[in-house]
């Protein structure tokens, strides 16, 4: 039985593509209201883990519990209705639609138009740049603005658990700063967050706890500050960033 303080609990998860096990015997948990980061090199299995949680790739073995109940095999759209929402790598915005229309897509499963409007205004307060361009086609936005839009659309789904896949990828340093400022604001509002991020130093500085993944397996876990000070983590994941 899942412990009541965990909103997400993964037990002995295996995910395979063809004959390759992309995720192997993974154990991971995220407590209610926690911000937890999952770091590791490209190809470690981080994005596959998020896609398995969301029902986008099949689970070969193991359990994924959300709010104490198994969600293995549950369709993605049903998980969104239950408050499990992902902002995918690459953002997944609708380029031909306006900012307002993209945000409206975040509320497609909701029946409270007034609440959706209220949440839209809240998103605009978090991202004033989107408010200024609300009738602009999303495809004409910069990469950072598109990331803002993808996060804003997710917030309109009223997530209880927000999965963020590489939110800073390809962004200028000032925009990365802004995105992480908003991530901290969302977490402070009580949303539980599981964050995948190439910038390991920034991810751990923002998180309560962290997991380190290598070749499909969790090799280290602990409080974020402890991982920041771990010599293995510093050598493998922080050294490169220190020299950039």
Task: Confirm if 94 and 171 have CB atoms less than 8 A apart.
Answer: no
Residue 115 makes CB contacts below 8 A (sequence gap 6+) with none
In tens, the pLDDT along 136-163 reads 999 999 999 999 999 999 999 999 999 9
Q: Does the pLDDT value for residue 75 go beyond 50?
A: yes
Provide the number of structural domains found in the chain.
2
Regarding whether 188 and 76 lie in a shared domain, the answer is: yes
Domain contains 88: no
Q: Does the pLDDT value for residue 164 go beyond 60?
A: yes
Sign of CA pseudo-dihedral 130, 132, 134, 137: negative
Q: Does the pLDDT value for residue 113 go beyond 80?
A: yes
Q: Does the pLDDT value for residue 94 go beyond 60?
A: yes
Regarding whether 133 and 43 lie in a shared domain, the answer is: no
Regarding whether 100 and 3 lie in a shared domain, the answer is: no
pLDDT for the residue 244: 32
**Pick from 127, 158, 189: which residue ends a domain?**
158
**Pick from 110, 132, 158: which residue ends a domain?**
158
What does the longest C-alpha to C-alpha distance in the chain come to?
51
Q: Residue 107 and residue 157: Cα distance in Å, rounded?
A: 5
The arrangement of strands across the sheet holding 61-66 comes to 20-31, 6-17, 61-66, 69-70
119 CB-side CA count, 13 A? 21
Q: Does the pLDDT value for residue 27 go beyond 70?
A: yes
In tens, the pLDDT along 32-44 reads 999 999 999 888 9
- What's the predicted TM-score (pTM) here? 0.91
């Amino acid at each position: 039985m899942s412990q009541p303080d965990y909103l997400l609990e993964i037990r002995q998860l295996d995910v395979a593509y063809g004959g390759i096990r992309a995720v192997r015997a993974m154990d991971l948990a995220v407590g209610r209201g926690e911000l937890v980061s999952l770091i590791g090199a490209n190809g470690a299995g981080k994005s596959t883990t998020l896609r398995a949680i969301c029902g986008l790739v099949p689970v070969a073995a193991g359990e994924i519990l959300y709010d104490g109940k198994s969600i293995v095999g549950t369709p993605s759209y049903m998980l969104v209705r239950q408050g499990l929402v992902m902002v995918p790598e690459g953002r997944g915005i609708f380029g031909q639609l306006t900012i307002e229309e993209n945000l409206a897509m975040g509320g497609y499963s909701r029946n409270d138009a007034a609440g959706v409007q209220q949440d839209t205004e809240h998103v605009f307060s978090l991202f004033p740049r989107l408010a200024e361009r609300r009738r602009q086609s999303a495809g004409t936005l910069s990469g950072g603005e598109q990331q803002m839009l993808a996060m804003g659309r997710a917030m309109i789904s009223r997530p209880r658990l927000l999965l963020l896949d590489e939110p800073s990828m390809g962004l200028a340093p000032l925009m990365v700063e802004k995105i992480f400022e908003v991530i901290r604001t969302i977490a402070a509002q009580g949303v539980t967050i599981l964050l995948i991020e190439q910038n390991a130093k920034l991810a751990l500085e923002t998180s309560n706890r962290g997991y380190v993944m290598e070749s499909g397996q969790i090799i280290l876990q602990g409080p974020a500050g402890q991982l920041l000070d771990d010599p293995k983590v510093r050598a493998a994941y922080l050294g490169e960033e220190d020299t950039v």
